[in-house]
A and B are shown apart, each in its own frame.
Chain A
Amino acid sequence: KAGVTQTPRYLIKTRGQQVTLSCSPISGHRSVSWYQQTPGQGLQFLFEYFSETQRNKGNFPGRFSGRQFSNSRSEMNVSTLELGDSALYLCASSLYGLAGGGETQYFGPGTRLLVL
């Protein structure tokens, strides 16, 4: 079956702009999580959506937001971009969002965002 897909794969923006990233989970998966990956901070959890509701949120400012649609596809938005937002943004999907609950979380290839 098809894996997690993310679009676009690469993006260049300037400070102050906003950006929307898209994620299509594996068919049947209802949980979608977003992560930010940087060389300095590593892999950090942004938020998780389940059945169109944000269920968990990481320690990121309100400029980072997301949503999930009825078909489980998800988008994340970053407003007023800062240089420090340059990162690889990863989306991951799983059946129910239960870490260690016998399910596997699958990651997409990520969207590489560069803020100039």
Chain B
Amino acid sequence: GENVEQHPSTLSVQEGDSAVIKCTYSDSASNYFPWYKQELGKGPQLIIDIRSNVGEKKDQRIAVTLNKTAKHFSLHITETQPEDSAVYFCAASVGTSYDKVIFGPGTSLSVIP
């Protein structure tokens, strides 16, 4: 089955700097890659997603890139702000049912003011 690895597990950046989180997946048939942000005491929130027919997607300060050949995808956050501090999860999915969405272990991001 699908396996998703995520690095780093913790990340500290200065406010205004960029943050990059990288994930790799094992199943080459995966075609959907969402990213979630989970703040303390809250459930995960979808922040951006990308499908396998797209190499890059951007939404304001957040961008995701996908390399299907290498089977890895990354989240880029520019001009980080303290409110970006949270745990970020990547995920990969084969097909369209939520039972096929496999989550990475998460990255705890701290943005230092």
Contact = CB atoms under 8 A, between A and B. Distances in A.
A33 B106 CA distance: 20
Given A100-B93, A109-B43, A110-B43, A42 B105 contact: yes
B96 A101 contact: yes
Interface of A: 4, 31, 33, 42-45, 47-48, 55-58, 90, 92, 94, 97-101, 104-110
B34 A45 contact: no
The secondary structure that dominates the A interface is strand
Interface stretch (B15-23, B44-52, B65-73, B77-85): B44-52
A106 B45 CA distance: 7
Contact of B96 (A33, A58, A100, A110): A100
13 contacts: A31-B98, A42-B106, A45-B98, A45-B101, A90-B43, A97-B97, A99-B32, A99-B95, A99-B98, A100-B49, A104-B46, A105-B46, A108-B43
A109 B99 contact: no
B43 A99 contact: no
A110 B45 CA distance: 12
Interface string B18-35: 000000000000011010
